[in-house]
Amino acid sequence: MDHQLLIARLNEKGLKVTPQRIAVLNAVYQLGGHPTAERIIEVVRRNNPNIATGTVYKILESFVGIELLRRVKTDKDIMRYDAILEKHHHLYCADSENIEDYFDQELDKIIEDYFKKKEIPDFHIEEIKLQIIGRFSSGS
């Protein structure tokens, strides 16, 4: 996401554009994948040594609030953040903490069609995410 879009998005939601917020978002994009708060803080501090831990958490939460980022969960206990690009699923390694994105529009379509025909009682679906658990065959 370029700065124009970011600024627009922040303004739209009534959040001010600050150097700290830009730094946090840059760090998330730079890290890619699904970084932990710890990694993000580490990277942000490279250019911004005085930023407080709490500030980064607050900023990350505000980004989750305006849907610039999403929380991602492992089966373990640490929160990770995911810069939203488009609808995607996650491959979880059964052995390690590794998480990879998985895009599959064909599958999305199949599932979408399935739930057009078959409703879940008393439940309105907004989104379906697959957790695909398994093992990476090459070094991961």
> Taking CB within 5 to 8 Å according to partner kind, which of a second copy, DNA, none is near residue 110?
a second copy
User: Residues 75-114 vs DNA: string with x where CB under 7 A?
Assistant: --xxx-----------------------------------
Specify the 3-state DSSP secondary structure of 36: strand
Tokens of 74: 């492992």
Which one-letter amino acid corresponds to residue 76?
K
Which option in a second copy, DNA, none does residue 36 bind, with CB closer than 5 to 8 A by kind? DNA
- Which range touches DNA (CB under 7 A), out of 26-34, 72-80, 93-101, 113-121? 72-80
SS3 string, 6-20, reads HHHHHHHCCCCCCHH
Contacts of 45 (CB under 8 A, 6+ apart): 51
Q: Is residue 37 at the binding interface for DNA, with CB under 7 A as the rule?
A: yes
